[in-house]
Amino acid sequence: MKEEDLSLIKRYPIVAYLERKGIKPVRRTPAYALYRSPLREETHPSFKVDTEKNLWIDYAEGRGGSIIDLCMRLENCTLSEAICRLGQTTSFDTACNNVEPSKEKAYSSNGSIRLPKEEMANGARRLIDVSDTLPSHLQEYLTKVRCINLEKAIPFLKSISYEVRGRRYEAIGFANLSGGYELRDDKTFKGTIAPKDITPIFENKAQPVCLFEGFMDFLSFLSMKEEVNNQCLVMNSVSNVTRTVDYLNAHNLTHIRAFLDNDDAGRRATQELIKAGFKVEDMSVHYGDFKDLNEYHVSCVREKEKMKVQEQTRMSVTEQNQNKKSKLVKLKIR
């Protein structure tokens, strides 16, 4: 990432970032804004944003930092993911391949960030080609690793070719409302071809709206159901809660079934939807022992496969025993 891009991110007003999430100050002066902490439930405001330095501090926790630190806390994401998400907000697309925890960057409460050499070398993603045909290795990833019903999934997916610093890559693409694409390859990469936005699906169907955090969960839902009779909406990130609320209100949709992740970010998003006045059924209780809907779906498929193998083995043993008995009978007759 270019230093000027990172500097642009750090200058993006924290007050504006919170406003986009529907978080408003209790008190505002020319020098600072005071909030009830967005990091937890509280009655008395203890979260302060210095609007001149564009830094925040949570007095109850004794912690603070830059907008990047805040994004990591609010959206429960890594440093590289926070830089990517904020980069999209500040109107440019940063290359943000997932970084392993061991490769995370050092950062401090004053917003000073030191990026590794490999991330400094990254550039923006440039879209090269969009195809309706997924290559075999991406199809195999969906079916073998994610246990997705390919026949049901294909109408919603594209093969995306893009370029970063002269190197070409290929990924599964899932289109959003603004013409951007959510990307996923067959390894660990997750990213976006900007702009980032939500994805409404089956808009002519009935409420409640089935809400998903990512498109892999939506594809899992398709694979699990014989038929989908409800409207669906993929947020493409919990950071899109405000856009989700705006879309639902604009279309007079009031009832939601939330299939969000079993983590703090997913739970916060669910609470935000409830506070926004929607009737929310938290469907994550049905897969409480799993990270998300896809992980639950994969577990169910694997268990069925295991039972099928066991049944086949049992039938094979039974057949062998019957054959042995038949041979013994023949011997006795002789």
CATH of the domain at 56: 3.90.580.10
Statement to judge: residues 92 and 131 lie in one domain: no
Statement to judge: residues 186 and 204 lie in one domain: no
Q: What is the pLDDT of residue 303?
A: 95
Tell whether the torsion through CA atoms of 119, 109, 15 and 61 is positive or negative: positive
Statement to judge: residues 41 and 61 lie in one domain: yes
What backbone phi and psi angles, to 5 degrees, belong to 281?
-95, 115
Residue 226 lies in a domain: yes
Q: What is the pLDDT of residue 93?
A: 40
Residue 332 lies in a domain: no
Residue 64 lies in a domain: yes
Statement to judge: residues 115 and 130 lie in one domain: no
Long-range contacts of 118-122 (CB under 8 A, 24+ apart): 119/1, 119/80, 120/1, 121/165, 122/1, 122/94, 122/95, 122/96, 122/97, 122/164, 122/165
Range with the lowest mean pLDDT among 131-140, 187-196, 248-257? 187-196
Residue 256 lies in a domain: yes
**3-class secondary structure, 47:** strand
Q: How confident is the model at residue 164 (pLDDT cuts 50, 70, 90)?
A: confident
Range with the lowest mean pLDDT among 74-78, 140-144, 225-229, 312-316? 312-316
Statement to judge: residues 179 and 164 lie in one domain: yes
Q: What is the pLDDT of residue 21?
A: 85
Statement to judge: residues 253 and 154 lie in one domain: no
Mean predicted lDDT score pLDDT of the chain: 83
Domain count, the chain: 3
Instruction: Give the pair of three-digit tokens for residue 87.
Output: 């980069």
Statement to judge: residues 218 and 156 lie in one domain: no
Q: How confident is the model at residue 112 (pLDDT cuts 50, 70, 90)?
A: very low
Range with the lowest mean pLDDT among 8-17, 52-61, 241-250, 313-322? 313-322
Among residues 250, 268, 247, 243, the alpha carbon closest in space to that of 258 is found at: 268
pLDDT above 80 for 124: no
Q: What is the pLDDT of residue 92?
A: 42
Q: Which amino acid is at 193?
A: I
Residue 204 lies in a domain: yes
CA distance 119 to 56: 26
Residue 37 lies in a domain: yes
Domain housing 144: 126-193
pLDDT above 50 for 94: no
Residue 230 lies in a domain: yes
In sequence order, what are the residues at sequence separation of 6 or more whose Cβ sits closer than 8 angstroms to the Cβ of residue 72? 78, 79, 81, 82
In sequence order, what are the residues at sequence separation of 6 or more whose Cβ sits closer than 8 angstroms to the Cβ of residue 102? none
